[in-house]
Amino acid sequence: MTTLSDWGRSRLSYAELAAALIDGFSEQWGEFTPGSMDSELLDEADRLYQQLTAEEWLGLAGARAKERRIKIAEGVFLVYQVLESGDETAVLVKNGQKHQVRTHLHGYAPCHGSMQHSRTVSGRK
């Protein structure tokens, strides 16, 4: 993955970024023309939304990532892991150092509202 800062650019305005994206995509796919979404496109988008957010789709069997990494800021990540025990952990990582670990015991995810079954350890590990 790359970012604009990797290419030595300072902050771009929205207009500069939009123009750069249009130019880049135009090279690959041809010229773009402004338009609006017609009812056929909106209906297809709604159909796909319903399909891809349905429990049947989200619960399909298959390999699932054991870790998800969410970039919060440069050098700051939230790492979500499912352990072999079924417990879930959320780890705040700043510049490669663990700063906070929160573990939710199997069956007691934070969305269940039962924080009494949650352990938090602050500090570096």
Amino acid at 110: P
Q: Does a structural domain hold residue 4? A: no
Q: Are residues 53 and 19 in the same domain?
A: yes
**CA angle (82, 88, 93) in 5-degree steps:** 90
Separation CA 93–CA 71 (nearest Å): 10
Q: Does a structural domain hold residue 110? A: yes
Share of the chain above pLDDT 90, in %: 0
| Band (22; pLDDT cuts 50, 70, 90) | confident
Range name among 38-47, 56-65, 93-102, 107-116 with the lowest pLDDT average: 107-116
Q: Are residues 53 and 71 in the same domain?
A: no
What is the separation, in whole angstroms, between the first and last Cα of the chain? 28
Separation CA 68–CA 90 (nearest Å): 10
Q: Does a structural domain hold residue 35? A: yes
Q: Does a structural domain hold residue 2? A: no
Q: Does a structural domain hold residue 105? A: yes
Q: Does a structural domain hold residue 1? A: no
Handedness of CA 45, 58, 63, 108 (dihedral sign): positive
pLDDT score, position 64: 66
Total tally of structural domains belonging to the chain: 2
Q: Does a structural domain hold residue 49? A: yes
DSSP 71-117: EEETTEEEEEEE-TTS-EEEEEEETTEEEEEEEE-TT--GGGT-GGG
Q: Does a structural domain hold residue 113? A: yes
CB 101 within 8 Å of CB 81:
no
pTM of the model: 0.36
| Domain final residue, candidates 38, 58, 78 | 58
Tokens linked to 98: 């663990």
Q: Are residues 117 and 71 in the same domain?
A: yes
In terms of residue numbers, what domain contains 79? 67-122
